[in-house]
Each structure stands twice: as structure tokens, then as C-alpha cells.
Structure 1
Amino acid sequence: MSKRDYYEVLGVSQDVSEKDLKKAYRRVAMKHHPDRNPDDKASEEKFKEASEAYEVLSDSQKRAAYDQYGHAGVDPGQGGMGAGGFGSFSDIFGDVFGDIFGGGGRGGRGGPSRGADLRYTLDLSLEEAVRGTSVKIRVPTLVSCGTCKGSGAKPGTQPTQCTTCGGVGQVRMQQGFFSVQQTCPNCRGKGSMVSDPCRDCHGQGRIEETKTLSVKVPPGVDTGDRIRLSGEGEAGADGGPAGDLYVQVSVRDHEIFQRDGRNLYCEVPISIVDAALGGELEVPTLDGRVKLKVPSETQTGKLFRLRGKGVAPVRGGSAGDLLCRVVLETPVNLTGKQKELLREFQASMKGDKNSPRQSSWFEGMKNFFGDMKI
């Protein structure tokens, strides 16, 4: 069975906090715990799946590796609740009945199973995301061992039936009044044993390998979009089919533009003179520079729309717009002559005729303080 995305298993987003992660795990674990759902294989698998997801995501180092490489970046087979067993209520909630219920998994008989899906985070510039590109990535994964063809047994030999469980993959244990069915500790649920393991994969049937893959990124992708590469995930256990690789797009911040869906935004500094008298400014777009006409008496913060200069969505449709926000820039490093000219200009100003917003604001302030009773 293919492994689902750990965040999806717990029903949380990738930026979830440790506190909310724990709450989500407890909610899923309580719902699907085997002791509350006896003989329900579906609930049992969901519980083990949630336990494995929480074991990885609650560890900061494992979580960082998983965020970068998906299932290939972590090894859930090494200990912990995700390694084939399941914890009792005491493991999750501190329940006093934990010693009664005990631990130990209830796995079904093993066999060929689909490999885990993998995830790779691909960082792109805004230009690459908007125009599309082709990139090569290196992904660590598990591939089928070529020496033993995935069987785990030395060439010329075959796995033998497990003598502990008789090939069933499960054993029944008595714990006081309770009879608990558990995954066979000898064959770990496979039902067979490799007595003479392959020298290359040491009986696992799979070996670690870093693959170099070419990824074609379509134009218009944005942060959060995923590109699926079928069959490029982990090789399946016991000769099962490979999972898929999901390339998750992450677009880096741009020094000029901010993207919001189909539209782009940027700030354009403008001088006092250009704002007052009007003029023509040169502004950047992803296709090059264009001229922007600024009318006289333009106020800071005004938005100008350049239609069709945004982004064409990856799923089709017309390109959005570029919205330029003009920001009035106060001149600095003035000479004595320039300061003198500004003072003359200030003296020539005639109150609300030249600065209506300022006059209105001061009038409102006087009314405000006039209404206050001190």
C-alpha cells in the first residue's frame, strides 16, 4: 500500500505548529485506535499510518528532511510507533489502562506492495515560474535490487515460509483476559524468511540510489502547485510497483514584483515634481520596460493598472495585470539653494486650495479636541 503524504494523513498544513500537530494526531489516533475498533483492519491501518506520520513530523530534524525529500528523506522502518507496531492509549493520552491494552501491531500478511510516493520541493525564480522551464533534480530513493530482482534472496535461492507464523504473517498473544493478534516478530508480517540474503541489498530487496530526473515545469505555476512524475517514487516491496514522485513548487521572493494569482504588483518611486506636474515614468515588467503616463496632482499610493502584463495561469486563461503603486519620495541631501527654493515654494502655498486633504485633516483635529471635555 502506498504511503500517503504525512500532513494529509493528520489533516494539517505544512506550516502547522507543534501544538496543533499533537492535537491533530490525538484526534486521529483516538478515532482509529485498534482497541476501540477491534477486528477493523481499515482503522488499524489508519492508526499505524497516523502514528508513523506523527513520529516523523514531531521530530524537527526528520520533519525538515521530509519537507525536502518526502518519504525518501526519512526512515520510518527504524523503531518508533510507525515501524509496524502501535501504541496503547497510554502512549497517546496517558491513560491508566495502558498496561492492560499493551502494544504490538496487528498487521496483515505481507506481499508485493506499491512503493511509497515521494515529494521534492523545487525552488524557482518568479521568471522561471511564469515562463516555464526544464530543470534536472537529484532525488534519493529506494529502487529494486537488480541482483536479486527484488526478492531479497541470494540469486539461485528463494525465500522460505516463516516457521513462527506458518506463512500467515500474524501471531496471537495472550495478555491476561485479552487475546491480541500481532504482526509476526520473526518475519514482520511477510509470511516468509530469507535464509540466504542477497549480498547487495542484504535481504531487503531494495537499495538506496540517487536518481537524476528531468522535470518540465509548465508556464504559470505558483507556490504550492505539484507536478506528478508517475513511477518515479520508491520501488515497491517484494517486487511491487513503484510509487510516484510529486515535485512541489516553491517560488522565491522577487526583488521588484509580488504575485497574487494572475496579477503582479510593484512599487514605483516618484518625485514631488513628477507627482505635482505629471510626467512619464519608465516601469519594469516581466517582458521589459514600458512607459507609464502619470497625470498631474497624483497622490502617493495611487495604483496604475497595466493590462495583460501579469501572469497567464497554468490551468489556462488570459494573463492578469500589473498593478503599479506610486510612492512619493521625499528628496534628500538638499543643497542650501534647494532648501531656499522649497521655503519660497512653501510660502506661496495657499492653505486648502493647494493642500485640501491637509486642511481637512487639521480642521477635523480641531473639532475633535474642541468636543473633548477635560
Structure 2
Amino acid sequence: MAFIDYYKVLGLEKTASADDIKKAYRKLARKHHPDMNPNDKEANLKFQQINEANEVLSDPEKRKKYDEYGENWRHAEQFEHAKQQQQQQGYTYGGQTGFEGFGGGGEFSEEHFSDFFESLFGRGGGAGSSRARGKYRGQDYQAELHLGLREAATTHQHTLKVNDRNVRITIPAGIANGQVIKLKGHGAPGGNGGPAGDLYITFIVEDDEHFKRVGDDLYANVDVDLYAALLGGDITFDTLNGKVKLKVKPETQNGTKVRLKGKGFPIYKKEGEAGDLIITYNVKLPTGLSEKEKELIRELASVSSKN
């Protein structure tokens, strides 16, 4: 497999901060997500490379190993162990003790990694080589899944494409923005018979034009005409679960809040339970008044000023 420069994949320099990595990953993941590029194999491959790069560079320990060992970062512990053994045995390369011959000061030059690894563990896939190398776990994958608020409020199935395989998952109602779930064994395959890595999915729940979500509660604004606010009346409102009739009390003030118990967002993995819906009344003043209406309002104002 050709070496992939994870920094180049994300369009970053090696000096990039953790925040730079996070921003670059989110931007590129959205651009190349399979849902945005159906039947585009090149975009799908790019998406996998982006996830792979983020999985390594967003983890401080993995990034440290990658920066030091390059494409052989997964074998860093084996390198270190072998290095200690060679130093203890006084092993020499070119008249120098230990590993100094690979770049001076005990550091390694990237072009020597493959030959060095083979010198320690042998070439090919023989039994002796496999035992020396040992099994190692495949790396984890990272992915983002974008949902609308109303999608996140219902239990539904979704199909993800991972390494040209369709993975069907059930998303429980009530998933939170930024919540991460793990799909065990859906990451990269392991080496020498080792276990596969895992797939971590971060859910991004988009904003909704009618509702604002805070925890399991929903907030919404409802317009109430002046006459209903003054005299009382009924209005109908569409919740996530259907229409409800709201009774407006006489002399309702602008900004009045009404709490509807259990009409909010479903609570994650608690079937039948939901937060509350908090509605704020916005009293709307009438426009385009006729002369008769204006005359009546003046009369009302006159009566009100005398009281």
C-alpha cells in the first residue's frame, strides 16, 4: 500500500494545531461525504482517507508515533522494543552502537524504515516472521452523520458505506448533536490475524427553522393576533408529534410562555418519554386598518384614558 501523507490529505502543515485538524476534517468530510457524492468512487476513497488521517492526527499519541515513524507508525512499539534489545546487546550498524546510524542522535530517517523493519523481522510472510511481528489491531475510522432535527426525533435506519461495504444501523430517537457511537469491528482490518478497528460516528443534528432544542426540551414561537390576546381564544400549533390546540387566556401579554409537558424532544433510549415544549406567544398588531376599525380603536383609547 502506498504511503499516505495524512497532513497533505487534510491540507495541513505538520505544525497544525488540534483545532486546525478538527476544522480541516469537518470541512473536507462534508465535501466528500458519500451522501453528498453518490456513485462517486473517487469521493468515497477520499472520504476514507480523510477519516483515516483524522483518526491518527486527532489522537496525540498516534500523531506522535506518526510524526516519528511515518508510514510505520503502527509498529512504533515494536521498533522501540527492538531498539532497546539491540542497545542492550551492543548491536552495531556501520560501526555505531544501537540505532545512531539511522539519522544521528538516535533518530530515524524515514527512507530506512522498510529495510530496518525487514532486518529485524525478516522478509515475506513465513511463520517465524509472523510470530516476530505479532498480531496488531486495525486502526479506527471516524465519520460524521448529519441529521435534521425531525430525523433525530424518530427511530430510523440509515445505511453507511464503509470500505465499499454497506453498513446498516438503527439510530434511536433522541440522538444528541455531537454524540458519538461506536460500531465495533467496522474499522480497518487488523494485521497478521489481529482484530479489526472500530468505526466511530459523530452525529451532527442540524438546526430547525421552527424549533430550538435545549437538552430534551424544545422552544418555539407562536404568533397570536391582538384580538385573541385581548379577548382570549384558541389557536392550533404543529408539534413534532402532531397538532395541538392551545387556549389563549384573555389579556395575554406579549412574551407569555406556555409549557406543554412531554411534547418536546424524545429522550434517548427511553421509549415513550420526552422533554417539554415551551411556547412563547408573540402578540401581532393588526395592519391595514380600515377607517371604521381606527375609529373604534380611538373610542377604546378614549374610554381607557378615562378609567
Q: How does 1:78-157 map to 2 (within 5 A)?
A: 83-85=66-68, 104=108, 111-139=134-162
Residue equivalent to 1:64:
27
For 1:298, what is the secondary structure of its paired residue? coil
Listed as ranges, the gaps of 5+ residues in structure 2 are: 1-13, 34-46, 58-62, 71-103, 121-132
**In the TM superposition, what whole-angstrom CA distance separates every residue of 1:306-343 from its partner, at most 9, and x where no partner exists?**
11212331143732211111011122233343333333
Residue equivalent to 1:221:
175
1:232 and 1:342 map into 2 onto residues whose CA distance is 70
After TM superposition, the score normalised by the length of structure 2 is: 0.60
| 1:269–1:56 distance in 2 versus 1, CA, 3 Å | closer
In the TM superposition, what is the alpha-carbon distance from 1:220 to its structure 2 partner?
1.6
For 2:244, what is the secondary structure of its paired residue? strand
**In the TM superposition, what whole-angstrom CA distance separates every residue of 1:163-199 from its partner, at most 9, and x where no partner exists?**
xxxxxxxxxxxxxxxxxxxxxxxxxxxxxxxxxxxxx
**In the TM superposition, what whole-angstrom CA distance separates every residue of 1:212-268 from its partner, at most 9, and x where no partner exists?**
211110122121222221100111244432111122211121121111222111111
1:62 and 1:103 map into 2 onto residues whose CA distance is 30
1:222 and 1:75 map into 2 onto residues whose CA distance is 25
Match of residue 241, structure 1, among 195, 201, 204: 195
Residue equivalent to 1:181:
none
Listed as ranges, the gaps of 5+ residues in structure 1 are: 1-50, 88-99, 140-208, 354-374
Aligned 8 A contact 2:158 2:169 in 1: yes
In the TM superposition, what is the alpha-carbon distance from 1:64 to its structure 2 partner?
3.1
**In the TM superposition, what whole-angstrom CA distance separates every residue of 1:48-82 from its partner, at most 9, and x where no partner exists?**
xxx8985894496456336876875354899x976
Residue equivalent to 1:303:
257
One-letter amino acid matched to 1:65: L
| 1:259–1:74 distance in 2 versus 1, CA, 3 Å | same
For 1:349, what is the secondary structure of its paired residue? helix
Match of residue 234, structure 2, among 271, 275, 280: 280
Provide the aligned C-alpha RMSD in A. Answer: 3.8
2:189 and 2:222 map into 1 onto residues whose CA distance is 52
2:16 and 2:161 map into 1 onto residues whose CA distance is 24
One-letter amino acid matched to 1:309: K
Larger displacement relative to structure 2 (271-280 or 327-336):
327-336
Q: How does 1:140-179 map to 2 (within 5 A)?
A: none
Residue equivalent to 1:319:
274
One-letter amino acid matched to 2:285: T
1:309 and 1:55 map into 2 onto residues whose CA distance is 39
After TM superposition, the score normalised by the length of structure 1 is: 0.50
2:23 and 2:105 map into 1 onto residues whose CA distance is 30
Residue equivalent to 1:17:
none
Match of residue 335, structure 1, among 283, 290, 306: 290
1:270 and 1:217 map into 2 onto residues whose CA distance is 37
Task: Considering Cα pairs closer than 8 Å and 6+ residues apart, tell me whether 1 or 2 has the greater RCO.
Answer: 1
| Percent identity for Structure 1 against Structure 2 | 33
Residue equivalent to 1:255:
209
| 1:113–1:218 distance in 2 versus 1, CA, 3 Å | same
| 1:251–1:65 distance in 2 versus 1, CA, 3 Å | same
Residue equivalent to 2:41:
none
State the number of aligned residues: 222
In the TM superposition, what is the alpha-carbon distance from 1:277 to its structure 2 partner?
0.7
In the TM superposition, what is the alpha-carbon distance from 1:127 to its structure 2 partner?
2.2
| 1:313–1:70 distance in 2 versus 1, CA, 3 Å | farther
1:58 and 1:103 map into 2 onto residues whose CA distance is 26
2:64 and 2:217 map into 1 onto residues whose CA distance is 46
